[in-house]
Amino acid sequence: MYRYILNRILMMIPVLLGVSLVVFSMIFIAPGDPARIILGDTASEEAVQELREEMGLNDSFVKQYVRYIKNIVTKGDLGTSYITQRSVTAEIADRWPTTMLLAVMSVILGTFIGIPAGIISATRQYSILDNLAMILALIGVSMPNFWQGLMLIIVFSIHLAWLPASGFYGPIYWILPVITIGTGTAATITRMTRSSMLEVIRQDYITTARSKGNKESTVIMKHALKNALIPIITVIGLQLGRGLGGAILTESIFSIPGIGKLMVDSIKARNYPVVQGGVLFIAIAFSFINLFVDILYAYADPRIKSQYSRKRIKKNSEVCND
């Protein structure tokens, strides 16, 4: 088992390097001169050129890239923000816990709603409850979360004045943003749970379980759910990653000081080091989440556990709407 984990971590390294290359290239071709951005439009041309030399911006692509990687690996230095002049690492470290909290809470909400809803839907297939749940889930998946955030603000903050529309200072501030991201998560998990349960309930071993004299509730909760949950774990993990992505827009809407808002603001302000560092950081976090999910999956399914598989575990991306 440990060999498998080690293997996966080793495989992550080239991927992350690739991400850094992609990110670096994108910034390289992005419009705008970093030196000009820092000094502003009023600065003289000589000053800009001097700064360019100082920052090493006239070096070749390869040289700049290697320098970039070296800085990250040896000093953990992701660069310096053009605007605040603080280290990118510090900027990210400040905001990371907020985003993580938001993403985790959304996934918890989504799971607590999604799994029971999916189970009920599957066991009462074709009933009114099932159809209702399916339509609600589809609406949840179809709703753009930035719009949902705005609508929630209009109703709950502006008209009813029950909940705050911005900031992240305490539990009451969490409610609207978590609902915003969480509905999409709940919808996806409901659909996934339903389809997974339906497939499992069809299996022969469920009939065997019934033929032993088990109560129907035991058949569903113990025999069916244990099997159905395995692919669902993967989806939950993916939703956590998606939560990171969804947080980007939600944080902007609710003015939450997290990484998402940092990204959006930095892109608008052409603060490229922050964008670079942020994307890389999110990619690393995402990769670790995926790794964790894969390991969990291997533990949950005894068939895989007993053969720490060489194959990559197929993730069910069919219902995953990013």
153-172 residues in contact with other proteins (CB under 8 A) are 153-154, 158
Sign of CA dihedral 311, 312, 315, 318: negative
210-249 residues in contact with other proteins (CB under 8 A) are 210-215, 223, 226-227, 230, 241-242, 244-246, 248-249
Which residue number, 138 or 172, has a Cβ lying nearer to other proteins?
A: 138
Residue from 26, 104, 132, 172 binding other proteins (CB under 8 A): 26
Q: Which segment (24-32, 34-42, 47-55, 77-85) binds other proteins by CB under 8 A?
A: 24-32
Dist CA 220 CA 124 (whole Å) = 12
113-132 residues in contact with other proteins (CB under 8 A) are none
Residue from 150, 163, 296, 313 binding other proteins (CB under 8 A): 150
Alpha carbons within 13 A on the beta-carbon side of 19: 17
Residue from 143, 163, 295, 296 binding other proteins (CB under 8 A): 143
Q: Which segment (36-44, 57-65, 172-180, 198-206) binds other proteins by CB under 8 A?
A: 198-206
Closest distance between other proteins and the C-beta of residue 162, in Å? 16
265-294 residues in contact with other proteins (CB under 8 A) are 267-268, 275, 279, 282-283, 286-287
CA 233 to chain centroid: 15
Closest distance between other proteins and the C-beta of residue 85, in Å? 21
Close Cβ partners of 185 (under 8 Å, ≥ 6 residues apart): 106, 107, 109, 110, 111, 114, 239, 242, 243
Q: Could you give the residue ranges of the DSSP H alpha helices within 32-87?
A: 34-39, 45-55, 61-70
User: Residue 176 interacts with other proteins (CB under 8 A)?
Assistant: no
Dist CA 264 CA 275 (whole Å) = 9
Which residue number, 30 or 104, has a Cβ lying nearer to other proteins?
A: 30
Long-range contacts formed by 220-229: CB under 8 A, 24+ apart: 220/119, 220/123, 224/197, 224/200, 225/119, 225/197, 227/200, 227/203, 228/193, 228/196, 228/197, 228/199, 228/200, 229/196, 229/300
Give yes or no for a contact between 164 and 171, defined as CB atoms under 8 angstroms apart. no
User: Residue 22 interacts with other proteins (CB under 8 A)?
Assistant: yes
Residue from 51, 198, 233, 313 binding other proteins (CB under 8 A): 198
Residue from 5, 19, 72, 136 binding other proteins (CB under 8 A): 19
